[in-house]
Amino acid sequence: MNIKGRSFLALKDFTPEEIGGLIDLAADLKAKKKKGITGNSLKGKNVALIFEKPSTRTRCAFTIGAIDEGAHPEYLGKDDIQLGHKESVEDTARVLGRMFDAIEFRGFKHENVEALAKYSGVPVWNGLTDLCHPTQILADFLTMKEHFGKLEGLTLVFVGDGRNNMANSLLVGSGKMGVNIKIIAPKQLWPTDEVVDMAKKFAAEAGSSVIITDDVNQVEGADVVYTDVWCSMGEEDKAAERVKLLKPYQVNKELMAKTGKDTSIFLHCLPAVKGNEVTTEVFEAENSLVFDEAENRMHTIKAVMVATLGE
């Protein structure tokens, strides 16, 4: 795998071999960190961390990952720079690209992260946009591979808001990596045809399947049951309407039993609203690997930085 100098904006831009290479590199970096071994592949590098949206896991993962490998991370919150307000995204990109060796962006518009990559001249990493959340999927896949020993042939079922950035990225990532994926959501919250068609194309090449349905009984056969908050950041005004619409799609003990497998695991990208998309009982159960998954954000993000920027 050689992706040095490339930006990491969306999983569609990477081959299954490259995605698998990042997951394997993350596992290696994780094993080394557990032994107290950190690297210096990013020594002397300065990394800009742009956050329009607040974050626990993404911010901590990029900060610790950068420091572990010898880089200096600089946090730039929405009140710290003029991104898209007093200064265009393109101009900000050209300034930051002359001062920093790479840029992370977590925010709303996907076109902003694309503009940063186009105009900065340095690797840009997508820490989340309204369209997709690629670093989260790497953490999910590392967690699944650690638990099951493989990815190909597993069945992942996402239950909830089927048109949010997580559903989009799980569709594309699963298609790429040969994971069978089902999105279970009310029809009003199905993913776009464009994303589904892309996922189906990748799945056809990998020999896996893509199913979009509103039937919760389709959770049968799931190795992984996945959910996310019912209201993404910026959608708080839709909370009451969403809760009413999605209540039948709550991941609870009854829904987990429908998998028909006692080996199924539960994943959630966090933060979780317990009592909405998932019950406390499922969240705290032994087969809930949400905190392994949260830790793996750091190891997979470190892998992205090392692979695209490291010496």
Closest of 112, 110, 103 to residue 130, by C-alpha: 110
**Domain extent at residue 250:** 136-293
Residues 166 and 98 placed together within one structural domain of the fold: no
- Output the tens digit of pLDDT for each of the chain's 311 residues: 899 999 999 999 999 999 999 999 999 999 999 999 999 999 999 999 999 999 999 999 999 999 999 999 999 998 898 787 789 999 999 999 999 999 999 999 999 999 999 999 999 999 999 999 999 999 999 999 999 999 999 999 999 999 999 999 999 999 999 999 999 999 999 999 999 999 999 999 999 999 999 999 999 999 999 999 998 767 777 788 899 999 999 999 999 999 999 999 999 999 999 999 999 999 999 999 999 999 999 999 999 999 999 99
What pLDDT does residue 259 have? Answer: 98
> Is 223 inside a domain boundary?
yes
From the candidates 59, 110, 147, 297, which is the catalytic residue?
297
Find out whether 55 is annotated in a ligand binding site: yes
b vs e for 261-282, b when ≥16 Cβ sit within 10 Å of the residue's Cβ?
A: beebbbbbbbebeeebbbbeeb
CATH code of the domain in which 64 resides: 3.40.50.1370
From the candidates 228, 231, 250, 299, which is the catalytic residue?
228
Find out whether 58 is annotated in a ligand binding site: yes
> Is 41 inside a domain boundary?
yes
Residues 289 and 303 placed together within one structural domain of the fold: no
What pLDDT does residue 195 have? Answer: 98
> Is 60 inside a domain boundary?
yes
CA distance 71 to 281: 40
CB 92 within 8 A of CB 113: no
Find out whether 246 is annotated in a ligand binding site: no
Find out whether 276 is annotated in a ligand binding site: no
From the candidates 136, 161, 231, 250, which is the catalytic residue?
136
Active site residue 106: yes
Residue 234 φ/ψ region, left for φ over 0, alpha for ψ in the -120 to 50 degree band, beta for the rest: left
The pTM is what? 0.97
DSSP state, 251?
B
Residues 142 and 123 placed together within one structural domain of the fold: no
Residues 185 and 197 placed together within one structural domain of the fold: yes
> Is 29 inside a domain boundary?
yes
Find out whether 15 is annotated in a ligand binding site: no
Active site residue 13: no
Q: How far is the CA of 301 from the CAs of 73, 228, 290, in angstroms?
A: 13, 20, 17
Find out whether 106 is annotated in a ligand binding site: yes
Active site residue 231: no
Residues 161 and 111 placed together within one structural domain of the fold: no
Find out whether 82 is annotated in a ligand binding site: yes
Q: Residue 73: is the preceding peptide bond cis (ω within 30°)?
A: no
Residues 197 and 212 placed together within one structural domain of the fold: yes
Residues 288 and 151 placed together within one structural domain of the fold: yes
Residues 202 and 129 placed together within one structural domain of the fold: no
Residues 184 and 238 placed together within one structural domain of the fold: yes
Number of domains the chain is built from: 2
Active site residue 136: yes
From the candidates 133, 147, 242, 268, which is the catalytic residue?
133
Active site residue 269: yes
Active site residue 133: yes
Residues 197 and 256 placed together within one structural domain of the fold: yes
> Is 226 inside a domain boundary?
yes
> Is 5 inside a domain boundary?
no
What pLDDT does residue 84 have? Answer: 74
Residues 37 and 125 placed together within one structural domain of the fold: yes
> Is 4 inside a domain boundary?
no
> Is 6 inside a domain boundary?
no
Residues 41 and 123 placed together within one structural domain of the fold: yes
